[in-house]
């Protein structure tokens, strides 16, 4: 059997929450180093890896806006949170000898490169993990949308969306015993049924450009590699 990776270039989307582990807030160093190891295992297969991280473990613009903060300003704080997470992941990867570059959608030259598409591509070709911080750089967007946009720009073949659950369900599997996991869905299914895979902006961007999304469970060690090797864990969303 062919044991090689299914993809040459992937975009891994991690939620901010994932970094918090059981703490529910901030960054759990153990989670971070586990993640770094998993990413290095995927790199070892010869796969090029770009990462987009959320910021929900630190700050969410929408939540702050609902308690009175100006939405655009709150979103700026949220974007900075994603850069904090990006720098933390960079550190964890470099500690185990993985070359990385952080590029930010909001310029912050003293700590990271600005996002420059051609440069990101060059880093990827050299086997560096490129961590894309700051979301899209625009308020009212999400890091899921940033993941879709960047995946398209850098020619990633798939978005691997790591979540708390092992795929997309018909209803919340924690609350509903009859919830079933979909092995496969179309973009339109996701939009019509209002399934919480990614927000509508991100989903339609993927639909318009035929970019598949695989939703899978992160907490299971080794899952990123399994998905890259083509194992059918989780849910694949495509046309
Ligand atoms: N954000 C933004 N524009 C973007 C991406 C993110 O304004 O393009 C802000 C927004 O306030 C959001 C926060 O950054 O709440 C954290 O990102 P997100 O909620 O996507 O993180 P996740 O839920 O994946 O942890």
Note whether residue 157 is domain-resident: yes
With residue 88 as reference, give the H or E element that holds it. Answer: helix 71-95
> Which pLDDT tens digits describe the chain residue by residue (239 residues)?
567 999 999 999 999 999 999 888 999 999 999 999 999 999 999 999 999 999 999 999 999 999 999 999 999 999 999 999 999 999 999 999 999 999 999 999 999 999 999 999 999 999 999 999 999 999 999 999 999 999 999 999 999 999 988 999 988 888 999 999 999 999 999 999 999 899 999 999 999 999 999 999 998 889 999 999 999 999 999 99
Q: Which domain holds residue 157?
A: 9-238
The DSSP result for 6-18, as a single string, is S-SEEEEEE-HHH
Note whether residue 13 is domain-resident: yes
Q: Which amino acid residue places its CA nearest to atom 23 of ligand 1?
A: 56
d(CA 80, ligand 1 centre) in Å: 9
d(CA 45, ligand 1 centre) in Å: 30
Q: Give me the CATH number covering residue 112.
A: 3.40.1160.10
The tally of domains found in the chain comes to: 1
Q: Please report the pLDDT score of residue 1 as a whole number.
A: 53
Q: Please report the pLDDT score of residue 76 as a whole number.
A: 98
pTM confidence score: 0.96
Q: Is there an atom of ligand 1 within 6 Å of 139 CB?
A: yes
This complex has an ipTM of: 0.97
Q: 142 among the known binding-site residues?
A: yes
Q: Please report the pLDDT score of residue 219 as a whole number.
A: 86
Q: 24 among the known binding-site residues?
A: no
What is the number of the ligand 1 atom nearest to the C-alpha of 143? 20
Note whether residue 3 is domain-resident: no
d(CA 5, ligand 1 centre) in Å: 30
Note whether residue 4 is domain-resident: no
Q: Please report the pLDDT score of residue 174 as a whole number.
A: 85
Tell me, what DSSP letter sits at residue 216? E
3-state DSSP assignment of residue 153 = helix
Note whether residue 117 is domain-resident: yes
| Residue matched to tokens 């560096």 | 128
Q: How far apart are CA 60 and CA 83, in angstroms?
A: 13
**Token code pair at residue 142:** 């999400």
With residue 113 as reference, give the H or E element that holds it. Answer: strand 113-114
Q: 141 among the known binding-site residues?
A: yes
Note whether residue 218 is domain-resident: yes
Q: Which amino acid residue places its CA nearest to atom 9 of ligand 1?
A: 78
pLDDT tens digits, one per residue of 23-63: 889 999 999 999 999 999 999 999 999 999 999 999 999 99
d(CA 55, ligand 1 centre) in Å: 6
Helix orientation angle between 143-154 and 200-208, rounded to the nearest 10 degrees:
20
Note whether residue 35 is domain-resident: yes
Q: Is there an atom of ligand 1 within 6 Å of 115 CB?
A: no
Note whether residue 1 is domain-resident: no
Q: Is there an atom of ligand 1 within 6 Å of 79 CB?
A: yes
């Amino acid at each position: 059997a062919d044991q090689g990776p299914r993809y040459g270039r992937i975009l891994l989307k991690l939620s901010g929450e994932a970094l918090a582990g059981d703490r529910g807030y901030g960054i759990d160093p153990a989670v971070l180093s586990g993640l770094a190891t998993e990413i290095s295992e995927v790199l070892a297969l010869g796969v090029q890896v770009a990462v987009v991280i959320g910021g929900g473990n630190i700050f969410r613009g929408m939540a702050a806006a609902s308690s009175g903060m100006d939405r655009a300003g709150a979103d700026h704080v949220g974007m900075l949170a994603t850069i904090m997470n990006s720098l933390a992941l960079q550190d964890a990867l470099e500690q185990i000898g993985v070359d990385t570059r952080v590029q930010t959608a909001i310029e912050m030259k003293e700590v990271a490169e600005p996002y420059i598409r051609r440069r990101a591509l060059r880093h990827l070709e050299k086997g560096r993990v490129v961590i894309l911080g700051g979301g899209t750089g625009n308020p009212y967007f999400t890091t899921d949308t940033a993941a879709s946009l960047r995946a398209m720009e850098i020619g990633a073949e798939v978005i691997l969306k790591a979540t708390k659950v092992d795929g997309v369900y018909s209803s919340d599997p924690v609350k509903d015993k009859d919830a079933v996991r979909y092995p496969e869905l179309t973009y339109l299914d996701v939009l019509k049924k209002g399934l919480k895979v990614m927000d509508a902006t991100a989903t339609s961007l993927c639909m318009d450009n035929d970019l598949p999304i695989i939703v899978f469970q992160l907490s299971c060690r080794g899952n990123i590699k399994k998905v890259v090797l083509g194992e059918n864990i989780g849910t694949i969303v495509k046309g």
